[in-house]
Structure 1
Amino acid sequence: MDKILYSSTQDQGISLIEADYHKFAFDRHYHLDFHIGLMTSGQQKFSHQGTQHNVGYGDIIIMPPDELHDGSSILDSGYQVRVFSIEPNWFTDNLEFTQPSDMLSFKQLIISDPHLFAPLAQLHKKLMQPNLSQLALDCMPYEGLGGLVERYGTLKQKAAIPLGKQSLATLKEYLLAHLDQPVRLEQLATLCSLSPTQFQRHFKARMNMTPYAWLTRLRIEQGMKLVKSGLTGTEVAMQVGFYDQAHFTKAFKHCYGVSPSAIN
Structure 2
Amino acid sequence: MSTNSTLGYQENNTAQTLDAGLGAGLERLCNTPGDGITSAPPEAGIERIEARFQGNGFSPHRHDTYAIGLTINGVQTFNYRGEGQASLPGQVIVIHPDELHDGGAGNEQGLRYRMIYVPPEKISDALAAGRDSGLPFVSSPVLTDIEFRQDLVEALSDIECEIGDLKRDCLLADLAACLKRHADNGKSNRPAVLDHKALKECSDLMKECCDRDVTLADLEAIAQIDRYSLARQFRRAYGTSPHRYLVMRRLDRVKLKLQKGEKLADAAVGSGFSDQSHMNRHFKRAFGMSPGEWRRLHAAGGQTL
| TM interval, short-chain normalised | 0.5 to 0.7
Matches within 5 A, 1:1-264: 1-10=34-43, 12-96=44-128, 98=131, 102-126=134-158, 128-130=160-162, 134-153=164-183, 155-157=188-190, 219=247, 221-227=248-254, 233=262, 236-238=267-269, 239-241=271-273, 243-244=275-276, 248=280, 251-254=290-293, 258=297
SS of the counterpart of 1:106? Answer: coil
Query: 2 CA distance for matches of 1:252 and 1:105?
Result: 30
Structure 1 position 49, deviation (Å)? 1.9
Unaligned segments of structure 2, at least 5 residues: 1-33, 193-205, 214-242, 284-288
Query: 2 CA distance for matches of 1:70 and 1:28?
Result: 4
Structure 1 position 16, deviation (Å)? 0.3
The CA RMSD measured in Å over matched residues stands at: 4.1
Amino acid at match of 2:37: I
Query: 2 CA distance for matches of 1:90 and 1:126?
Result: 21
Query: 1 CA distance for matches of 2:180 and 2:191?
Result: 19
* Conserved 8 A contact 1:45-1:72: yes
Amino acid at match of 2:273: G
SS of the counterpart of 2:297? Answer: coil
SS of the counterpart of 2:73? Answer: strand
In 2 relative to 1, CA 139–3 (structure 1 residues): closer, same or farther, beyond 3 Å?
same
Structure 1 position 150, deviation (Å)? 4.7
Moved over 6 A (4+): 177-181, 260-264
In 2 relative to 1, CA 178–227 (structure 1 residues): closer, same or farther, beyond 3 Å?
closer
Query: 1 CA distance for matches of 2:161 and 2:65?
Result: 23
Structure 1 position 93, deviation (Å)? 2.2
* Conserved 8 A contact 2:210-2:249: no
* TM-score normalised to structure 1 length: 0.63
Q: How many residues align?
A: 213
Q: Which has the higher strand share?
A: 1
Q: Which has the higher contact order (CA 8 A, sep 6+)?
A: 2
In 2 relative to 1, CA 69–107 (structure 1 residues): closer, same or farther, beyond 3 Å?
closer
